[in-house]
Amino acid sequence: MMRQYELVEKVQSYDPDADETLLNRAYVYAMKAHGSQMRASGDPYFSHPLEVAAILTELKLDAATIAVALLHDVVEDTEATHQEIVDLFGAEIGALVDGLTKIKRLDLVTKEAAQAENLRKLLLAISKDIRVLLVKLADRLHNMRTLGAMRDDKRQRIAQETMDIYAPLAGRMGMQQLRDELEDLSFRVLNPEAHAAIMERLDRLHEESGDVLRQIEVALVERLAKSNIVAEVKGREKKPYSIWRKMEKKHLSLGQLSDIFGFRVVVREMDECYRALGIVHQTWRVVPGRFKDYISNPKQNDYRSIHTTVIGPHRMRVELQIRTQLMHEIAERGVAAHSVYKDAKAEEAAQGMRVEAAESNAYRWLRHLVEMLSEGDSPKEFLEHTKLELFHDQVFCFTPKGDLIALPKGATPIDFAYAVHTNVGDSCVGSRVNGRHAPLMTELENGDEVEIIRSKAQVPPSAWEGLAVTGKARAAIRRATRIATRKQYAGLGREILGRQLSKANLEASDKQLIAALPRLGFRNLDDALASIGRGELNGADFVKALGPDGADMPKPKRKSAAKPSTTLDEPLNGGRTIAVRGVNRDLPIRIAESTGAVPGDRIVGILTPGKGITIYPIFSRALQEFDDQPDCWIDLAWDTSDESLRYPARLAVKIHNEVGALAQVTQTIGEHGGNIDHLIMNTRARDFFDLDIVVEVHDLKHLNHIMNSLKLKPLVSTINRATG
């Protein structure tokens, strides 16, 4: 265990002006507070905050952060109080310790909403002061290093949440060294067999390659020195988890991996990075497609470096990262290498680090993420957005004016449009990629120039949510869809209310309608009209609430009040349960057999006297028969509170007339959780068969997943929804 004077000396080695008194007081206070407490490993509990402080000294953090590391568990695990910390160590350290105390354990096996709320607390605390994150990551790193004393189930849980949240967050903050160790320690727990196999392969490679790494280092230094470039070259091997991730992504075996070894070339000036690159490319053959310039286009976490892969000595494939010393500091320590603290002083530049006038890109990303908290998204949507932002690699695209837009890998023009501005996304109707028209589902590549085609009349369809990759785009599409749906319901509600007023021989201005809202419990006229349109408020009740003379108004015949939600059995396919909103509970209801309908489809109901209501998706051709009968149309909405329910969708599938084609279709549907309720094979031609299939699914997303999987099958020619 590190001694008191050793800790002080370590801090003063990189910060001679560090507050020695503060460090000594924090050391003694924490040691006394934890007293005889023991960890699960049998070590004194105080060894944990001390090791956390030691990890932070490796990141060269200020004395206040080291003091917080020593104190971070005292309020939660001892009799010490927050006020006592403030009185003894000041408001700044008190606030940091309080922020860490409020962050509860992130439990990834609990409900998503609870997990999301914990993540909100973590990010809010971090956004107030980045040092909260630095202490939290160091705390998690030491816990991972000492995980062996825990029960197996607890080890698995802690390792999984580290892999899911803390390691990616460290990466987004540019702290690559810390991220690598967190991932490797988690991987060792979550997949010990794979970890052992990769380590065995690395040991064999060491034996086979012998002194090759050293030879390459010497050769690189000599080549660069001949051109008057002083460089520090260090060979390294990829971490086991990095190797495993590449094997999974590219479907490679251990034996097929060739670029396991890499070298970092650290030079003095930025122009030497490009000179060094030229020398390397003139000396060894370049592997095509493996060059990336993150100096010209830095990553969002401020990472800057040139990446290239060459065929080096002994025909060994070697990855090179060329950077300056400052770039190397930021690559290894991330935000810890930036002066982004709230009380940053100009003299910190004397430590050899550039003091930024603005926040680092990594910290700016974090603040943007926290801004999502104020936009009214549900916890589940916020969690989804955060995980998307954490896990995706980046591609860099350009606007026609040359502005750079960074997006997650796999992003589409829809994501690009919303990244430019929400209004651009909402009005997007098409795109041009590199001057050519491209579908909105096109996956963007590095360097693409994207032009968004817009229309003022456009409303983003809800189906775009499944095409978007970024959480920002998905959240904006959901909001726009909610607003558009509300507007449609309000229009329908105004029509229904107008009929009720006509029956009562009354006319009412919007001013009179607004005056009646308090009696109905509404603050906004559009909300009340939308409620009528959804069937949640009866139009006749609104008429009654119009004024003191309402009791003397002619009363139209009333049906029983519409309920906000109803669950009814419909006769198709054996009495399936349908959950919809906007219909009377007493009416029988069924889904149109000619098309089927699933949650996610925009639906309407057609009321037929004596038969009840038939649900049609809005694209059904059968609705044309009712164009001149507006009174029989009922605007419906799905009630998706019960996610276990299944709904029918009729598909028209054309397959090749070959052995195994039908089996491919049925097997694919079954593998993806669909249930075939009806299947008829019709002969179309000698080479093809037409299939009429009714498949039961949970929602439109589930159906699209099945249809997309079928499209990939070689014996499936076409697949479409039946339109009736």
* Catalytic site includes residue 77: yes
For residue 588 the two structure tokens come to 């029988």
Annotated catalytic residue, options 15, 20, 43, 77: 77
Torsion of CA 245, 246, 252, 255, to 10 degrees: -100
For residue 327 the two structure tokens come to 């770039």
428-433 vs 450-454, strand pairing mode: antiparallel
**Residues contacting residue 181 through CB under 8 Å, at least 6 positions apart:** 141, 144
In sequence order, what DSSP letters do the residues of 237-286 get, joined into one string? Answer: E--HHHHHHHHHHHT--GGG----EEEEEEESSHHHHHHHHHHHHHHSEE
- Residue among 122, 130, 142, 126 at smallest CA distance from 49: 142
- Residue among 576, 581, 603, 577 at smallest CA distance from 531: 581
Name the phi and psi angles at 33, rounded to 5.
-65, -45
Element (H, E) at 397: strand 394-398
CA-atom Rg of the chain in angstroms: 32
Element (H, E) at 28: helix 20-34
In sequence order, what DSSP letters do the residues of 557-580 get, joined into one string? Answer: P-PPPPPS-EEEEESHHHHEEEEE
Annotated catalytic residue, options 6, 17, 76, 200: 76
**Residues contacting residue 454 through CB under 8 Å, at least 6 positions apart:** 424, 427, 428, 429
Query: What are the start-end ranges of the H helices in 261-407?
Result: 270-283, 325-333, 361-371, 379-391
Query: What are the start-end ranges of the H helices in 41-191?
Result: 47-58, 63-71, 74-77, 82-89, 91-102, 112-128, 131-145, 152-161, 167-172, 176-190
232-237 vs 261-267, strand pairing mode: antiparallel
Task: Determine the angle formed by the axes of helices 240-250 and 176-190, rounding to 10 degrees.
Answer: 70
Task: Determine the angle formed by the axes of helices 91-102 and 112-128, rounding to 10 degrees.
Answer: 170
- Residue among 654, 638, 633 at smallest CA distance from 716: 654
**Residues contacting residue 602 through CB under 8 Å, at least 6 positions apart:** 462, 617, 618
- Residue among 563, 556, 541, 418 at smallest CA distance from 478: 418
How far is the C-alpha of 297 from the C-alpha of 303, rounded, in Å?
Answer: 9
Output DSSP code: residue 449: B
Query: What are the start-end ranges of the H helices in 610-714?
Result: 661-671, 700-711
How far is the C-alpha of 547 from the C-alpha of 140, rounded, in Å?
Answer: 64
**Residues contacting residue 299 through CB under 8 Å, at least 6 positions apart:** 174, 361, 394, 406
Query: Which residue type occupies 659?
Result: V
SS percent in the chain: helix, strand, coil, step 5: 50, 20, 30
**240 CB neighbour count, 10 Å cutoff:** 22
For residue 580 the two structure tokens come to 């919809």
**Residues contacting residue 618 through CB under 8 Å, at least 6 positions apart:** 601, 602, 603, 604
The residues carrying an active-site annotation are 76-77
